[in-house]
Amino acid sequence: MEQQKTLLKLEKVRKIYKMGEVEVEALKPSSLEVYEGELLVILGPSGSGKSTLLNIMGGMDSPTEGAVWFGGEDLARASERRLTEYRRHQVGFVFQFYNLIPDLTALENVAIAAELSNTPLSPRKLLEQVGMNNKMDSFPSQLSGGEQQRVAIARAAAKNPKMLLCDEPTGSLDCETGRKILSLLLDVNRQYGTTVVIVTHNVAIRAMGRRIIRMSSGAIAEMTFNERPEPPERISW
Ligand SMILES: Nc1ncnc2c1ncn2[C@@H]1O[C@H](COP(=O)(O)OP(=O)(O)OP(=O)(O)O)[C@@H](O)[C@H]1O
């Protein structure tokens, strides 16, 4: 196997949420390396800690214990301001419910993200790539769920981030539309060398990952390698 460069290294990362007197250990001490340009699938049932792990990777949340190395920097000890900068420049987010700005057109939604970046990709070109050339001037309410998710992927990719973090990106979509979305994520991964992390409870999606992590009760229960990942078009659920 070729030598892979580490993009992000999580060391014994643990997360405890406190709700009054009650403590919830959302993530037990977990260690994980994420490599440059890989496509990683994180699988697990509801409540297993997937989103907690993803949020820590994306600098949206800080761990209670442990270190998150990005280059020579420990994000677990970074200031809020530095984390904002990290999210802005290094990470693109794709969520289950798209989170587009309702008052902006598809093109404007993508352009606003591109403006935050020092090395943006062309919003128009990206929207063409995701098959939205005819709907650039539509508002989110005029688009189907699958179309909104296409725009959301173009928006996340527009910053030209090192990493795309996708939380249940096909969660609200039917199988056929979901496959197309997965296919677009794979395109971004291949074309721009962007690391893509897909969090899902949908076990069918494991077939497209080269590396699959299974989470259970707040811990990484298993890591598997897939020598021959399936193209998303062949996945069904
Ligand atoms: N902000 C929070 N405050 C308190 N508890 C939380 C918080 N966020 C998550 N938890 C708890 O931590 C555990 C892990 O949640 P997490 O959202 O990471 O799981 P998940 O695998 O992503 O689940 P789902 O697929 O349902 O989103 C759950 O028991 C959850 O209730």
ipTM of the complex, rounded to two decimals: 0.93
Tell the residue number behind the tokens 């987010």, with chain if given: 93
Q: How far is the CA of 6 from the centre of ligand 1 (A)?
A: 27
Handedness of CA 4, 14, 209, 165 (dihedral sign): negative
Q: How far is the CA of 53 from the centre of ligand 1 (A)?
A: 10
Q: What is the pLDDT of residue 121?
A: 93
Q: Which atom of ligand 1 is nearest to the CA of 15?
A: 12
Angle at 51 between CA 50 and CA 57, to 5 degrees: 95
Tell me how far apart the alpha carbons of residues 229 and 206 are, in angstroms, rounded to a whole number: 9
> Domain 36-63+79-234 is of which CATH architecture?
3-Layer(aba) Sandwich (3.40)
**Average of pLDDT values for 190-211?**
95
Tell me how far apart the alpha carbons of residues 41 and 234 are, in angstroms, rounded to a whole number: 16
Contact assessment for residue 122 and residue 155, using Cβ atoms and an 8 Å cutoff: no
pTM of the model: 0.94
Q: What is the pLDDT of residue 4?
A: 87
Q: What is the pLDDT of residue 2?
A: 59
Q: Which atom of ligand 1 is nearest to the CA of 18?
A: 4
